[in-house]
Amino acid sequence: MLDLKELRITSIEDFDDVEVVEVLVEEGKMVEVDEAIITIESEKSIMDFPSTEKGMVKRILVSKGDTVHEGDLLMTLEVEHELKSTNEALQNNEAKEVELQEPSPQQDDAVNSQGRKALESDVNAQPNQSDSPSSVYASPGVQKYARELGVNLKDISGSGGNQRILKKDVQDYVHKKLNKQDYRSVPSDGSVATVAINTQSSELSSFGEVEEIELTKIQKVTAANLLSSWQNIPHVTHFDQANITSLEKIRKSFLSTLIDSEIKLTPLAFIVKAVVASLEEYPVFNATLDEINQKIIYKKYFNIGIAVDTPAGLLVPVIRDADKKDIVKIAQDIVQISERARQKKITPDELKGATFTISSLGKLGGQAFTPIINPPEVAILGVSTINIQHVRADNSDEALKFLPLSLSYDHRVINGAEAARFCSYLISILEDYWKIIL
């Protein structure tokens, strides 16, 4: 037995006439008693208006932007007292409705649980005691959602009409917090805030002798940053090598002129200069991906991070404005920052602001490796040990020196062809260094 019921706007405290800012249901779909059917907004507040009946929406008589007054007809519902025959259809409709209007439970759970974690550490994220409709513009549903996540709606600017805060704004806010935490808010104790592989020495000692040594603070922080980078950035590594036979001759001749000075002129200073020239030519390698606003930020300065192996762990101090420095100054900087890092004298400021990093294993050995990007950078160059290849030319045996290069890049920002071009350009400089010296 079907009845047609009318849903009218009833008297609501503070509201004389109000604007419909959202219609939350569709014709042909089921609504439940107390389910929000429209969102209305006055000068002072915003709220969801609920259905007083359960039934199928037959006809909607208001639309977004309409002004409604007490007693106005909003929609008609087909109400069945015994809904047995249509139960199945109704359930399907309900399921679809949930799909269309709400994020999936998994999405919500992911945001909820990660969001809570991200916000627990945020001293400003207190429960929104004062998020009453008169102080923030958000529907009760959004207010409830924010409350569940521990988000204070006052911290969010709304993207809806009249700056109304939407569910999406709450989600964006949480994602922003998560992103910030991933890259910059390593816990002050340096602990690795991830699911730990919990292998304890008691388990291992059943197989033989073990020794436990606490990770240094640097190792803890590095572990958290590396893990975050590895998990969040799709890395690709491009391998190549440069014939630096003539560059090595140039370096040796430079060295002979510096014989009495303290300057240590290794291939790395030349590599830094060649990398800067390549970054100038291919600026995307000097960029940052702004994930939230979906933008690439091109930096016009060239600060090169140098991975330094120290007894306490890996540190990456920065050579600032490398484009404005000559090779000798860069060589001096490398020595100075690496010594300060090893002597634990480096300051936090000296570790910040890199736009691209070089990790040189120098003569330690190896032919290639896959360096991990140091966010917010989008690429890193790994340098391995020079290898010597003998070639026969004009009845003589020439020993050529090849420098292996491993370029890891963020595949969201840089594609393989660009990486190949960048590497070829870098190699062309390393193989014909006069190109940038003169």
Q: Catalytic residue numbers?
A: 411
> Apex CA 137: angle with CA 59 and CA 140, to 5°?
60
Structure tokens at 399: 């020993």
Considering only residues 270-309, where is the footprint of ligand CAO by CB under 6 A? 306-309
Interface pick for ligand CAO out of 357, 360, 374, 406 (rule CB under 6 A): 360
Interface pick for ligand CAO out of 61, 361, 400, 413 (rule CB under 6 A): 361
By the rule CB under 6 A, 385 interacts with ligand CAO: yes
By the rule CB under 6 A, 218 interacts with ligand CAO: no
Which CB, 7 or 330, lies closer to ligand CAO? 330
Cβ atoms of residues 243 and 398 within 8 Å? no
Cβ atoms of residues 389 and 408 within 8 Å? no
By the rule CB under 6 A, 363 interacts with ligand CAO: yes
Which CB, 277 or 372, lies closer to ligand CAO? 372
Q: What is the DSSP string of 48-114?
A: EEE-SS-EEEEEE---TT-EEETT-EEEEEEEESS-TTTHHHHHHHHHHHHHHHS--HHHHHHHHHH
CB of 324 to ligand CAO, least distance (A): 20
Which CB, 219 or 428, lies closer to ligand CAO? 219
By the rule CB under 6 A, 386 interacts with ligand CAO: yes
CB of 268 to ligand CAO, least distance (A): 4
Indicate the burial class of 154 (C-beta count within 10 angstroms; 0-12, 13-18, 19 or more): middle
Give dist(CA 1, CA 83) in Å, integer. Answer: 8
Give dist(CA 350, CA 299) in Å, integer. Answer: 18
Q: State CA 10 to chain mean position distance.
A: 47
Which CB, 105 or 366, lies closer to ligand CAO? 366
By the rule CB under 6 A, 215 interacts with ligand CAO: no
Which CB, 158 or 371, lies closer to ligand CAO? 371
Strands 2-8 and 55-60: unpaired
By the rule CB under 6 A, 62 interacts with ligand CAO: no
Considering only residues 320-359, where is the footprint of ligand CAO by CB under 6 A? 334, 338, 359
Interface pick for ligand CAO out of 115, 160, 267, 375 (rule CB under 6 A): 267
Report in angstroms the alpha-carbon separations of 20 from 23, 46, 64, 66, 309: 7, 10, 5, 5, 63
CB of 358 to ligand CAO, least distance (A): 8
Give dist(CA 367, CA 257) in Å, integer. Answer: 31
Cβ atoms of residues 121 and 181 within 8 Å? yes
CB of 398 to ligand CAO, least distance (A): 19
By the rule CB under 6 A, 83 interacts with ligand CAO: no
By the rule CB under 6 A, 216 interacts with ligand CAO: no
**Total Cβ atoms within 10 A of residue 190:** 16
Cβ atoms of residues 7 and 77 within 8 Å? yes
Q: Which stretch binds ligand CAO (CB under 6 A): 33-41, 129-137, 186-194, 263-271?
A: 263-271
Binding-site ranges for ligand CAO (CB under 6 A): 266-268, 306-309, 314, 334, 338, 359-363, 383, 385-386, 403
